[in-house]
């Protein structure tokens, strides 16, 4: 089971079915803040929707294709971080994350991302870790920048968000750039 202590108060823990209600409450209580960049939030209408998300992450974990971990702070579920699948042929993956609005500004996601990057290189022996962020989302861009990722370029109109296309910046780190 994937768990990782970040500080005395903060840890990453694989999301399990029993966390569905906490995840549902966190997602719905932060939906106004999350939905600007995460359109799937509008489809979380019941605890069962959060359970289905957790089940999909557990299936990924079973197949060594990534996972979804909760970011737990002072015993509360604060956010989610995970790997969007693993391409074992290329030994590459990409990281996604979000945090509840009341947990923003504490460095929790930067810490969680740093730990997951270590896990990708030191435990999974991957070659490349990617983070993609919309050009209009500077809070999220700050995370790969703080962690020394390289900005590779822009994918134009990479995502359709509600009623318009947004461009994505691609950030990456390679195994030999990791400490
Ligand atoms: C993007 C998102 C995860 C960033 O959250 P965040 O709280 O700003 O990120 P961090 O947890 O790394 O915290 C960084 C902040 O904590 C501060 N901080 C405090 N202690 C810190 C520490 N030890 N290390 C780093 N930062 C620290 C930083 O100064 C920064 O504050 P600032 O924004 O006032 O400059 C969050 O805004 C979010 O969930 N947004 C909606 C969903 C989303 O956009 N997801 C990403 C899609 S690509």
- Minimum-distance ligand 1 atom for the alpha carbon of 104: 7
Residue 2 pLDDT class (50, 70, 90 cuts): confident
User: Could you give the number of structural domains in the chain?
Assistant: 1
Q: Judge if the beta carbon of residue 112 lies within 6 A of ligand 1.
A: no
63-94 confidence digits (pLDDT tens): 999 999 999 999 999 999 999 999 999 999 99
Average pLDDT, the chain: 96
How far does residue 89's CA lie from ligand 1's centre (Å)? 32
Decide if 151 contacts 47 (C-beta within 8 A). no
Determine the pLDDT at residue 143.
98
**Is position 125 within any domain?**
yes
Q: Specify the pLDDT at position 75.
A: 95
Which band of pLDDT confidence, cut at 50, 70 and 90, is reported for residue 162? Answer: very high
What integer is the mean pLDDT of 133-162? 98
Q: What is the pLDDT of residue 97?
A: 98
For ligand 1, say whether the CB of 135 is within 6 Å of any of its atoms: no
- In sequence order, the β-bridge partners of residue 70 are 13, 80
Residue 136 lies in a domain: no
Is residue 120 a part of any domain in this protein?
yes
Which CATH number characterizes residue 101's domain? 3.40.630.30
> Cβ(35) to ligand 1 under 6 A?
no
Q: Which residues pair with 161 in a beta bridge?
A: 164
**Residues spanned by the domain of 32:** 3-129
**What is the tens place of the pLDDT at every residue in 101-142?**
999 999 999 999 999 999 999 999 999 999 999 999 999 999
Classify residue 14: in a domain, yes or no: yes
129 in contact with ligand 1, CB cutoff 6 A: no
What's the CA-to-centroid distance between 99 and ligand 1, angstroms? 8
Going by alpha carbons, the residue nearest to atom 18 of ligand 1 is 107
Kindly indicate the confidence band of residue 179, based on its pLDDT and cuts at 50, 70 and 90: confident
* Residue 1 pLDDT > 60: no
Question: Does residue 120 line the site of ligand 1, with CB under 6 A?
Answer: no
Pairing state of beta strands 128-134 and 164-174?
antiparallel
Q: What is the residue with the minimal CA distance to atom 43 of ligand 1?
A: 98
The set of residues, in sequence order, having a beta carbon less than 8 Å from that of 179 and lying 6+ positions away, is none
Residue nearest to atom 2 of ligand 1 (CA): 140
In this predicted structure, the answer to whether residue 3 has a pLDDT above a threshold of 90 is no
- The DSSP line for 87-111 is ETTTTEEEEEEEE-GGGTTSSHHHH
Reported as a single tens digit per residue, the pLDDT across 28-64 is 999 999 999 999 999 999 999 999 999 999 999 999 9
In the 8-state DSSP scheme, what is residue 162?
Answer: T
Does 38 sit in the ligand 1 pocket, CB within 6 Å?
Answer: yes
Please give the C-alpha separations between residue 97 and each of 86, 90, 114, 123, 179, in angstroms, as whole numbers.
Answer: 16, 22, 12, 20, 22
The answer to whether residue 178 sits within a structural domain is: no
Task: Write down the pLDDT at residue 164.
Answer: 96
> In whole angstroms, what is the distance from residue 80 CA to residue 26 CA?
10
**Residue 179 belongs to some domain of the structure:** no
In a domain, 145, yes or no: no
Residue 151 lies in a domain: no
């Amino acid at each position: 089971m994937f768990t990782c202590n970040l500080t005395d108060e903060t840890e990453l823990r694989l999301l399990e079915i029993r966390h569905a209600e906490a995840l549902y409450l966190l997602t719905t209580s932060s939906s106004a803040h999350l939905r600007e960049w995460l359109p799937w939030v509008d489809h979380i209408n019941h605890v069962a929707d959060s359970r289905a998300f957790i089940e999909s992450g557990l299936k990924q974990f079973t197949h060594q294709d990534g996972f979804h971990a909760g970011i737990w702070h002072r015993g509360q579920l604060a956010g989610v971080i995970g790997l969007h699948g693993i391409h074992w042929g290329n030994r590459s993956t990409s990281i996604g994350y979000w945090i509840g609005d009341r947990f923003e500004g504490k460095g929790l996601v930067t810490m969680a991302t740093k730990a997951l990057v270590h896990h990708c290189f030191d435990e999974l022996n991957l070659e490349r870790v990617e983070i993609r962020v919309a050009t209009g989302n500077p809070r999220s861009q700050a995370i790969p920048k703080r962690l020394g990722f390289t900005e590779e370029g822009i994918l134009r109109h990479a995502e359709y968000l509600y009623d318009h296309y947004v461009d994505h910046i691609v950030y990456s780190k390679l195994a030999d750039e990791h400490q």
